[in-house]
Structure formats: C-alpha cells, structure tokens
C-alpha cells in the first residue's frame, strides 16, 4: 500500500479516536455538572422532596417557595430566551438532529449557552420539564464546536455531534449501549461503521467518566425475578397500546398549550412565568408535579407507595402541566416527564389489572417498567434505545423482554397515529420532514439556485421572431428567455415553435406564457418533481420580483440530485 495512503489512514483513525475520547469526556463532565447544578438548585429552592421535608416546620416558607420559585424561574427563563437566544426558543434535540443531517449553519455557541442556562433555571425552579433534552443538546453543542475544526475528516460535524450526544445519554443513564444506539437511531438515522466506531468510543468514555470515575447512581434500582405467567405478555402488549394512546393525548395537549399561549399571551417572555405559577398552585396539593420527579419515579416501583386514586391524580396533573410548561416556553425536554408519567401509568395499570382480571400476576415492577419505556419510546421515537436502557439498568433479561413487547406495540400504534416522534413533528413544522426518509428531507434543504447558470439566450419583448431565431442559431441553443426592460421574465420562446414563422412577427406573438419556473426557494427535490413532463433546455429561475437570475439546465437538476443522493449513500455505508 502506498505510504501516503497508509499515513492518511493512520491519521484519520488517530484523529477520530482522539475526537471521540475528547468529546466523550467533555460531554460527560458537562452533563454531570448540569445535573448536579439542578439538584443543588432544587435543594436550595425547596423543590426537592427531601428539602421540603427538612423545612416542613416552616410551612409558610414552603408555601411561598412553591408558588414563587416556579413563577420567578419562568420569568427569568422567558427573559433569557427572548433576549439571549437567537431562535427565541429553547434549543432541543430537534436542533441537534437538524445540525447532524444538514450542512446548514448550526445554532451559535452563545445561543446554546443561553439555552442551557435557561434549561438549568427551568429545572432548578421546579418546572415540569425534563433534563435529558438539554443534555442531548449540550452534547450536540460541543460536537458542533469540534465539527468546525479543520481536521480533514469526512462527515466530521455529524459524527462529532453524534459523539457528544452518545456521551451525554451514556452519562445520564449509565447506559453506554443505549447512548450509542440513541445517537444512531435518533440523531444520525444510519449505522455506518465510519460513525459507529467513534460514537462507540465516545459513549464508552462517557460511561467511564460517570460510572467509574464519579460512581454516579443509577436512575432506578429494581428487583425482579421473572415473568411468572406466559399469558401476561398479552397484558404487556395491551399496556403498550394504552401507552401509545397516552402519548397521543400528550401530543394533543402540547399542541393546544402552545397555540393557547401564542393566542392569549402577547409577551413571549411572560409565558413561562404564567406556566410556573400554574405549576406552583397545583404543587400545593400535588407536590409530585414539581421538577424532574426522580424520587417519585423510584417510589413508583415500590408496592404500596401509591394508591390507585393517588396515581391517577398525579398522572393527570403531570401530563397536563408538562404540556403547559413546554408549550408556554420553559426550556427542557420531554423524555424525563415521559419516563415519569409512563412508570406511574404502568404502576396504575399493574394495580388495576388484578381487579379487572383476577388471575395471578408477576407484581407491580414489571408493569411499571413496561409503561415507562412504552410511553417514552412513543414520545421520542427511540424503541431500541428504551429497550436497551431497561437491560443496562436492570440486567434482567425477563424484564427487558416484557418491556420490549410493550414498546413494540406502543410504537406500532403511535407511529401511525402521531408519527415517529415529537422531534420529527417539530422538525416537520420547521420544513424538514423525515417521515418519507432522509433522502427527501435532505434534498429539500439544498436550493437548486446553487446550480444556477447565467449562460442563456435573452430576448427583449421588442424583438422580432427573425432576430431571436438568428440569435438562437448563433448561440447553438433551442430556446430564449423573453424579458421586459426591467429584466422581468415574460415567457419562453422555443426554436421549434418559430422555425417557420415570418421574420417580422413580434416575439410577443410567439411567446410561450405557461412554462416551468423555479424561484430562489426551490429545492433540489422540488425541482426534480417539477421536471415531470418537462420539455425544454433549461428552467428559468427568478427572484421575488419576477426578474430572471439565470437558468438551471435539466442536466444540472439531475446531476444535483445524483450527487446529493450519492453523498448520502456513501455516508450511510462507509466502512472507515
């Protein structure tokens, strides 16, 4: 093998490995710091159950904190997002997906830092939002920074973003395999070896930092022996279907919440404060709605910790308030609330089931875990990740199989009813639709104006057919663009239509007024669609005023399509 090729291969492997380890370490440390800061704020601001118990002899202080802390936190969040984040919203996993899938500019680092600060305040002040969404974007933000370095690595930005995300998830759940799969399943949407190797290294690094160096506690600890009865798998499948319905309800509530906030609250910066006040009022009676709810999540797997009525009340309150907090502008994710609502619903289902079907069951734990993963997978669109989280956290094969049944049936229903995930729905509202595959979505982000040519034959509306015909013969072209004195496109004239026409005939009498046309926003995908039945040499491209900017040859459209699709296939199938 040539020495230059060997040197290049060695450099690429070394560079990718160093980048993966560096990103894995940085993202893991940032995730740990973020989570610890949230816990610190929850303790100081009387949001966590432990802090509230310690201050129970100061009743008025607890009441005041319950009402004022979420509202004040909401006001701070609203001001930070409105004045410091360029996008005027919290940055989240959909932004990471978009940055990894396209070559367009990613959200700036200052906006990312401001959004992370807003997420920290949201979670620290008790808003009913999740921590994993901000952690995903935090990892993606560091990955995007590394992606800007001139390291001469193919697909550097997308791989770096995936590395940061994998490390963050691996750290958050103490689950490196789940972090690896999440990055491919949700962020990259492919499993090429070129990406798989560094993302694996980053996920493993995140796990080592979190679990070996800092000895981070697991999200939850459960004890489960086995599924005692085969018929219970039918119950797990039914639970998955019900969780898909819960996911649909959550999506609808979120849509209603967002539209209500936009319609009735004129000042965007004030919306989170109103949501925070609503959380505080409800928390006076149901304190479990405050914050991430990790303690509530852990208690949900304990027999007798909650009654049926109590579980039902917490589920409804948490479901509604999460939709309100996210819709009104608090910055945070939906994964944590989905896990909490899901495990509570699973526990509820496990308690109600014996009354409906008085046959032996395997206990509360398995139904709680199945509900947690079925609902979460429907919301975030990551069935493989949620199944692996169960296995890595519990090391229970039986519990993982049970959860897998619920997750599969939940996703079978939710995919058809609400789409792949909340993230994909948000991306679709931004004009990036992954529902029909990566090809179409990415082709829609490439403007056909990038393939514009200014070499064309122009004609004036005052010309004669004879003048235009001679000009086309001289230019060796078969069509001309007819323009007025302001450069606006009036139509197209084709040689075959005027070959036998009288020379003195005004060109406007031979013009073709109806023809295919592109504008500055036309994408490569749209241009390919427009070429159905197209007859001609090239398609004119005009600006918003109708002025001709140039033409795009039919060959250029096909070439653009093939080049982009080829790059996609190469990215998805590269071995190294």
Give the whole-angstrom CA distance, residue 443 versus residue 431. 12
- The answer, yes or no, to whether residue 437 has pLDDT greater than 80, is no
The pTM of the full predicted model, rounded to 2 decimals, is 0.88
Residue intervals of the chain classified under CATH 3.10.580.10 are 443-565
DSSP 302: S
Give 32-89 pLDDT, tens digit per residue: 999 999 999 999 999 999 899 899 889 899 999 999 999 999 999 999 999 999 999 9
- Looking at CATH, the fold of the domain delimited by 3-213 is given as Clc chloride channel (1.10.3080)
User: What is the structure's pLDDT at 534?
Assistant: 78
Give the whole-angstrom CA distance, residue 240 versus residue 228. 19
Give the whole-angstrom CA distance, residue 391 versus residue 438. 30
Give the whole-angstrom CA distance, residue 402 versus residue 406. 7
User: What is the structure's pLDDT at 1?
Assistant: 55
150 vs 70: which has the higher pLDDT:
70
Residue intervals of the chain classified under CATH 1.10.3080.10 are 3-213, 232-431
Instruction: Give the CA angle between residues 12, 167, 396 to the nearest 5°.
Output: 120
User: What is the structure's pLDDT at 221?
Assistant: 76
Q: To the nearest 10°, the Cα dihedral for 431, 432, 434, 437?
A: 110
Give 193-217 pLDDT, tens digit per residue: 788 999 999 999 999 999 888 888 7
Q: Which residues have C-beta within 8 Å of that of residue 127, sequence separation ≥ 6?
A: 70, 73, 74, 77, 272, 275, 276, 279, 291, 325, 330, 332
- Looking at CATH, the fold of the domain delimited by 232-431 is given as Clc chloride channel (1.10.3080)
Instruction: Give CATH for domain 443-565.
Output: 3.10.580.10
Strand-by-strand arrangement of the 538-542 sheet: 518-519, 538-542, 548-553
With cut-offs at 50, 70 and 90, classify the pLDDT of residue 502.
confident
Please state, rounded to an integer, the average pLDDT across all residues of the chain. 91
User: What is the structure's pLDDT at 372?
Assistant: 95
């Amino acid at each position: 093998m040539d020495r230059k090729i060997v040197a290049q291969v060695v450099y690429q492997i070394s560079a990718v490995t160093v980048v993966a380890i560096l990103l894995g370490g940085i993202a893991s440390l940032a995730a740990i710091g973020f989570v610890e800061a949230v816990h610190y704020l929850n303790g100081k601001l009387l949001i966590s159950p432990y802090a509230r118990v310690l201050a129970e002899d100061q009743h008025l202080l607890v009441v005041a904190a319950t009402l004022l802390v979420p509202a004040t936190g909401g006001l701070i969040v609203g001001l930070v997002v409105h004045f410091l984040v360029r996008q005027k919203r919290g940055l989240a996993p959909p932004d990471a997906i978009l940055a990894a899938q396209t070559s367009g500019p990613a959200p700036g680092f200052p906006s990312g830092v401001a959004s992370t600060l807003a997420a920290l305040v949201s979670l620290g002040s008790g808003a009913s939002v999740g921590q994993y969404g901000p952690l995903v974007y935090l990892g993606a933000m560091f990955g995007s920074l590394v992606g800007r370095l001139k390291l001469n690595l193919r697909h550097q930005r997308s791989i770096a973003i995936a590395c940061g995300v994998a490390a963050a998830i691996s750290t958050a759940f103490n689950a490196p395999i789940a972090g690896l799969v999440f990055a491919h399943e949700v962020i990259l949407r492919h499993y090429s070896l070129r990406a798989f190797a560094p993302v694996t290294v980053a996920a493993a690094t995140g796990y080592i930092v979190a679990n070996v160096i800092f000895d981070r506690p697991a999200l939850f600890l459960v004890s489960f022996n086995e599924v005692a009865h085969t018929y219970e798998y039918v119950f797990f499948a039914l639970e998955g279907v019900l969780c898909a319905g819960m996911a649909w309800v959550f999506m609808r509530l979120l849509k209603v919440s967002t539209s209500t906030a936009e319609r009735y609250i004129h000042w965007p910066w004030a919306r989170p404060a109103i949501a925070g006040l609503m959380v505080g009022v409800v928390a006076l009676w149901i304190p479990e709605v405050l914050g991430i709810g990790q303690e509530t999540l852990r208690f949900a797997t304990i027999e007798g910790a909650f009654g049926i009525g109590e579980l039902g009340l917490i589920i409804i309150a948490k479901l509604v308030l999460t939709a309100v907090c996210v819709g009104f502008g608090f910055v945070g994710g939906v994964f944590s609330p989905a896990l909490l609502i899901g495990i509570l619903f699973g526990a509820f289902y496990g308690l109600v089931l014996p009354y409906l079907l008085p046959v032996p069951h395997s206990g509360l734990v398995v139904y709680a875990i199945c509900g947690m993963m079925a609902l979460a997978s429907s919301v975030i669109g990551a069935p493989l990740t949620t199944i692996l989280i169960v296995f890595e956290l519990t090391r229970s094969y039986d519990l993982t199989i049970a959860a897998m049944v619920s997750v599969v049936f939940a996703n079978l229903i939710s995919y058809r009813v609400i789409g792949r995930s909340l993230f994909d729905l948000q991306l679709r509202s931004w004009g990036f639709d992954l529902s029909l595959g990566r090809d179409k979505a990415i082709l829609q982000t490439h403007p056909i104006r990038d393939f514009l040519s200014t070499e064309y034959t122009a004609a004036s509306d005052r010309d004669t057919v004879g003048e235009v015909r001679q000009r086309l013969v001289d230019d060796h072209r078969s069509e001309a663009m007819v323009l007025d004195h302001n450069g606006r496109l009036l139509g197209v004239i084709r040689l075959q239509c005027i070959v036998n026409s009288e020379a003195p005939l005004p060109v406007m009498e031979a013009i073709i007024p109806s023809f295919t046309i592109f504008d500055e926003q036309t994408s490569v995908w749209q241009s390919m669609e427009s070429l159905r039945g197209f007859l001609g040499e090239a398609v004119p491209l005009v600006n918003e005023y109708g002025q001709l900017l140039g033409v795009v040859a039919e060959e250029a459209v096909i070439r653009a399509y093939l080049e982009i699709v080829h790059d996609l296939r190469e990215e998805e199938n590269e071995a190294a």
